[in-house]
């Protein structure tokens, strides 16, 4: 079974799921908002916080492209929402002082270098960079674990990225993702989780989810996902392009508790558990007489039936094997049958 280790936290299908609270740019460039979201996520029990590291001039040329979930150009948005290196260092220190894992997605070489120099223990690469092979190779060369989102990509393009990660012997995770904001449930395509597991057996697999609510994350865990990522905000009334798909602290807490519950519940096989024995005693039925039976009588549907509790020697499952047999004893009504009462 494949696992990766980030900051001493083992992540894999048989481990407690890692829930990543994606703050991203929900702070809108406001450092105090970013701090509050870290504190609220920690209060909710979150283990991992993720930001985005934007240095606009390094990641893009000036442009007027407007994202589908925004009403301004991506250039203006990133200029407004980018944090300074000093602010990012302070946030990393805050996150780690609270015992959480700090992640941030770099969108340029310089951003990746900044994070490496900050001492991050792993990198998260976003879906937009999944086929940005030069940047992936630049980051892989750091030899840090990598979590790679795969929205807007197929197995063919993902395979090229995976080849790069394998070349550098980097422990890695692949997150299935649909880059629609929000993602309609019918476009989530949870079947891709098993496809990724089958195609990349050395990968830890998870879900970066942009649908509304936690439903699809719970389902992903049931299918074997080890990581789930959701956009997070302290207050859904704040302004920002990702607010409609973000969960609040109460929903984050529910996600953490729910994914752990589902992970514990999945797997296993249809056997009778030893722990079910106390329930068996009252829930099973035993073969009993429903009228007095004399020695030499034949057991029929008229004088024996099945009744609780299941403490009898002969259970309901063996009822038919008793019918037609001869009684070796005088037995009163409502008495559990014993093997010694039945002629073989």
CATH class of 13-265: alpha beta
The string of pLDDT tens digits covering residues 61-85 is 999 889 888 888 999 889 989 999 9
Which residues, at least 6 apart from 313, have a Cβ–Cβ distance to it below 8 Å?
A: 286, 336, 337, 338, 339
Q: Is the pLDDT of residue 1 over 80?
A: no
Cis geometry, peptide bond prior to residue 182 (ω within 30 degrees of 0): yes
pLDDT of residue 72: 86
The string of pLDDT tens digits covering residues 84-122 is 999 999 999 999 999 999 999 999 999 999 999 999 999
pLDDT of residue 69: 81
Domain boundaries, the chain: 13-265, 274-341
User: How far apart (Å, rounded) are the C-alpha atoms in residues 288 and 301?
Assistant: 11
User: How far apart (Å, rounded) are the C-alpha atoms in residues 66 and 74?
Assistant: 6
Q: For residue 169, what are its two tokens?
A: 């012997």
User: How far apart (Å, rounded) are the C-alpha atoms in residues 284 and 286?
Assistant: 7
Q: For residue 187, what are its two tokens?
A: 């476009």
Task: List, in sequence order, the alpha helices (H) in the chain.
Answer: 31-43, 56-59, 74-81, 85-97, 109-118, 133-140, 155-167, 191-199, 215-222, 249-265, 277-283, 319-322
- The pLDDT mean for the chain works out to 97
Is residue 48 within 8 Å of 23, Cβ to Cβ? no
Give me the residues paired with residue 10 across strands. 5
Q: Is the pLDDT of residue 295 over 80?
A: yes
Q: What is the 3-state secondary structure (H, E, C) of 17-80?
A: CEEEEEEECCCCCCHHHHHHHHHHHHHCCCCEEEEEECCHHHHCCCCCCCCCCCCCCHHHHHHH
Is residue 106 within 8 Å of 131, Cβ to Cβ? no
245 phi and psi angles, rounded to 5 deg:
-105, 10
Q: For residue 136, what are its two tokens?
A: 């992936």
CA angle 279, 280, 284 (to 5 degrees): 125
pLDDT of residue 67: 87
The string of pLDDT tens digits covering residues 142-193 is 999 999 999 999 999 999 999 999 999 999 999 999 999 999 999 999 999 9
pLDDT of residue 70: 82
Pairing of strands 48-53, 18-24: parallel
pLDDT of residue 317: 97
pTM (two decimals):
0.92
Pairing of strands 3-6, 9-12: antiparallel
Domain covering 274-341 in this structure, CATH number: 3.90.1210.10
The string of pLDDT tens digits covering residues 208-258 is 999 999 999 999 999 999 999 999 999 999 999 899 999 999 999 999 999
pLDDT of residue 236: 97
Nearest in space to 122 (alpha carbons), one of 175, 170, 55, 87: 170
């Amino acid at each position: 079974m494949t696992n990766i280790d980030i900051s001493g936290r083992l992540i894999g299908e048989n481990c407690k799921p890692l829930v990543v609270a994606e703050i991203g740019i929900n702070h809108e460039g406001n450092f105090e908002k970013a701090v509050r979201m870290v504190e609220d996520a920690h209060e909710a029990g979150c283990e991992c916080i993720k930001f985005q590291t934007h240095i606009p001039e390094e990641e893009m040329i000036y442009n007027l492209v407007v994202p589908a979930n925004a009403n301004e150009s991506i250039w203006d948005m990133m200029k407004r929402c980018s944090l300074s290196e000093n602010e990012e260092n302070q946030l990393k220190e805050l996150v780690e002082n609270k015992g959480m894992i700090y992640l941030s997605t770099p969108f340029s070489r310089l951003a990746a270098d900044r994070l490496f120099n900050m001492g991050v223990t792993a990198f998260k690469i976003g879906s937009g960079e999944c086929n940005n092979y030069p940047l992936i190779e630049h980051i892989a060369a750091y030899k840090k674990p990598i979590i790679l989102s795969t929205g807007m990509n197929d197995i063919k393009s993902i395979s090229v990225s995976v080849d790069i990660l394998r070349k550098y012997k980097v422990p890695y995770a692949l997150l299935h993702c649909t880059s629609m904001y929000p993602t309609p449930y019918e476009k989530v395509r949870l079947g891709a989780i098993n496809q990724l597991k089958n195609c990349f057996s050395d990968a830890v697999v998870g879900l970066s989810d942009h649908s509304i609510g936690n439903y699809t994350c719970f389902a992903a865990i049931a299918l074997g996902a080890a990581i789930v990522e959701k956009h997070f905000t302290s207050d859904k009334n704040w302004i920002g392009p990702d607010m409609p798909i973000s969960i609040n602290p109460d929903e984050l807490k529910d996600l953490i508790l729910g994914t752990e519950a589902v992970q514990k519940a999945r797997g296993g096989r249809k056997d009778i558990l030893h722990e079910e024995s106390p329930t068996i005693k009252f829930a099973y039925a035993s073969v009993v007489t429903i009228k007095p039976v004399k020695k030499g009588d034949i057991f029929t549907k008229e004088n024996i039936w099945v009744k609780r509790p299941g403490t009898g020697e002969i259970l309901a499952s063996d009822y038919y094997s008793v019918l037609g047999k001869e009684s070796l004893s005088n037995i009163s009504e409502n008495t559990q049958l014993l093997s010694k009462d039945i002629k073989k």
